[in-house]
A and B are shown apart, each in its own frame.
Chain A
Amino acid sequence: MRALPFVEGRVAVLDRPDVDTDQIIPKQFLKRIERSGYGRFLFYDWMKDESFELRRPQAQGASILLAGRNFGCGSSREHAAWALEDYGFRAVLAPSFGDIFRSNAVKSGLAPVAVSADELARVRAAVEEQNELVVDLERLELRHPSGLCVPFELDAYDQETLVHGLDDIARTLAREHEIAAYEKAHPARFDTRTLA
């Protein structure tokens, strides 16, 4: 995964609450067995509507999505994060996220940045004046050329994963001795391979 110390770019605004992952990527695209190429299916049904927020001129070329509360709720499909990333987004700003989506985003090189609704409104006002923003994942702040600076929180594990583009599995496998010790102390109670 690519290292993502910061994101600098244009912001697209999708101010709707509870955008679910079924909207981000509808089910007919989940039959593919590849991990790439989902960007062209992003918001597939909503994109058919000419007035859809992401089709507006100011949203073109955006690498940051400013979204509403509970963004990415619903289905666990990681394809939603893959589609946003493949489309060109590197960060999503929202008051809150669906728990599974947030976790998937981090593993897909897409920074989920939780910012309060009030602060998000200030960021939105600023980018409506001048569409530029920096999402600094090392210093954990949003910066706008107007001088607006909004700090945000990200847990240390996710921050490290994103900033350095770490392979989560390799990190865990490095703890082999701990896992082996746990397994030794907790023998399996069944074996799925021998079930009648």
Chain B
Amino acid sequence: MSAPSLIVVGLIAAVLLIWFIAVFNSLVALRVRVQNAWADIDVQLKRRHDLVPNLVGAVQGYLAHERSTLEAVTEARTKAVASSSETVAHRAQAESALSGALSNLFAVAEQYPQLRAVESVQLLQEQLTSTENRIAFARQFYNDEVMKFNTAQATFPRNLFAGVFGFSPTAMFVAPDAERANVQIKA
């Protein structure tokens, strides 16, 4: 082999190597983003756990006749907190039970005009609404990131070696059946 062709081969190899490193790093970055997005959902769930006792304490005085509703919320929260070390499926179930109990509480509170007029309750309700939204948006972001990650792995030519280096498609966050049942679609 002559010197020029050696140089050409070497250049091609170098370009390939650089490209390979870039692709590998981008896959790693995507995976880290997915993990990060997952952790963000956790943060928001934790925030909800912290808010619920405040809310219950604030409305307790006005909802003396609705003890069962309040107890359901407290109980659902306890279960959700306890489930944070369990499997994802288990956890999703406990969290969606808490969501259900909370929306139940809000529905009941709608019937008490004097409660809706209290400013601190309004603020708490806003915070809780926001927390529900944040959980939803954190999931949405997680799913978007998972989609990007999975697409990156599945497209040619990355699909040839993504599996070899231990990248595997990640599951999307799907709403549990119990939660889906709660959604009322307006016509």
Asked if A pairs with B, the answer is: no
